Structures are given as structure tokens and as C-alpha cells.
Amino acid sequence: MSSPTALPRTLINGKSCDSLSISDRGLAYGHGLFETIRLSQGRPVLWEQHMERLQKGCERLAIDVPAQLASSLMKDVTQLCGLEKEGVIKIIITAGSGGRGYAAPEVTNTQRIVSLFSLPVYPSDRSEGVKVISCQYQLPLNPRMAGMKHLNRLDQVLARAEWQGTTIAEGIVCDLSGKVVEGTMSNVFAVKEGVLLTPELSQAGVQGIMRDFVLENAAAMGLESREVSLGVDEFKDADELFLTNSVIGLWPITQWDDLCFDKGPETQIIQARINRLLTEGV
């Protein structure tokens, strides 16, 4: 197994490479998408779900990709990961180079980029609870782009610039109407009177793969779930709060601004289910 210091490693269109044309539309216009996938026990977790979202995103952004894209990406991941058991896989699909101007090139030259990174090192106690803040930055309403993980992450960059250090784990971002949407790198959930709540994302935000996993498995865990449109104060009125994404799994929220919360029983049930997925693949 290679040492962690050897990471990241990158393949572009299946070949070892670390550079891309400066005329690439992903760089020039953010014309592309990405997926961030947890590598656990040598396997990419929730691979099929990530590939489905990627394919749908390419269709929405009019990026022409071959029918065998998922198969090609799996070959890249297999080649890149080798004997690695744990890590983070990042996949980027761009619309390729097309000269100056917004018009898409007549000849398709989509770029396929796959990188392997070491798992981020977070404080070990984050699985027991984290502190979050309410961001001042507000997300624009854009139903055409909502849900996708497109390459333009300036909204998240600006929101994440509002704090420094590791005491605060995440910032919660609202849209222009003041409704809670997500964290800068995560989706947010609440439990209120035994019902699992999460923001609906038809106007803004990213439809996270781990978010979908939680919603799809809620009933099996004995939970009713709803997608809602609520403000910060309404979310803070919950009994339990937590964050999810494909890399961190689940972090309970034990402080939001000046309010403190317990790591409640429903959160513990969901966390155990996600941990089983990450360790056992089931």
C-alpha cells in the first residue's frame, strides 16, 4: 500500500496526468460537474447513486458523455486506488475545450478526471457533536441549477470564508428568502417530535447522496421523513440536529450559534446505520 504522502493521484481520460488545457470550459465557465465519493474497505461507497446523479447532471448541463461513462470511471477508480482501502475519490467531468465564447464546441471533447485523496483528518470527537454557525451569505434561487454538484462553488467559497479555525465545524446557509438550505459542505437534518426533517432543494442547494440515503432508509429505521421549507429559528426549535455528506457520514449538531442540543436517540440510530454502510457496505 502506498503511503498517504503519495496522495493525491490523478487520471485524466484514463491516463496519469496532472494538467488540463487552460481553454477547458470547466475552468473558464464552471461548465462541468463533480462527485466526491468515500473509499471504504477498498470500495467506493454508494457508487451507483453517485453515477446516477452524475449522468443526470450531465444531461441537465448539456454535456455529451459516452454511454459507458460509469464503466470507464470504475476502471479509472480501480486503476487509481490499487491496494488503497480508505480515501476520497473525486470525479470531475468537464465540457472540454471550446475556444473563447460561451457557445459549446461543435466537436465533443468531454474531459474525465479522477483523483484519489487521503481521508481528511477531523477531530475525533466530531462524531459526538459539532458546533455550527448561521452564515450571513445567502444562496441565490436558481431551480435550473438546484440539486446538482456543478463546478461553480463560489457560493460555498464565500460562505466558508466567514469563519476560521476548527472550533466551528460547519456553516449553515439560507437562501434569499431566509429558508435553511444546507451546510457549506453538507446537508442538514432536524428531528422534531419524532419526525425527520430536511430542507427541500428545488430552488437551491445540493442534493447530497448521503442525504438521499438517509431519506430512503428512514422508514426502515422507524422514522417518518419530510422535506420542508423552514427558517433558522424553526430549525433551531428541533429536538435533534445533524449534518451528513458522503465523506464525513454523520455529525450530530450539539451547538448552533448560541443554542445547545443533545445528541438524541434518533440521530444515534441514523448514525449507526451510516457507520454500518461505511464499514460493512450494507
Beta bridge partners of 150: 33
Catalytic residue among 10, 35, 149, 192: 149
Q: Is 36 a catalytic residue?
A: yes
Catalytic residue among 35, 170, 182, 240: 182
Catalytic residue among 10, 36, 110, 267: 36
Q: Is 149 a catalytic residue?
A: yes
Residue positions annotated with a catalytic role:
36, 149, 182
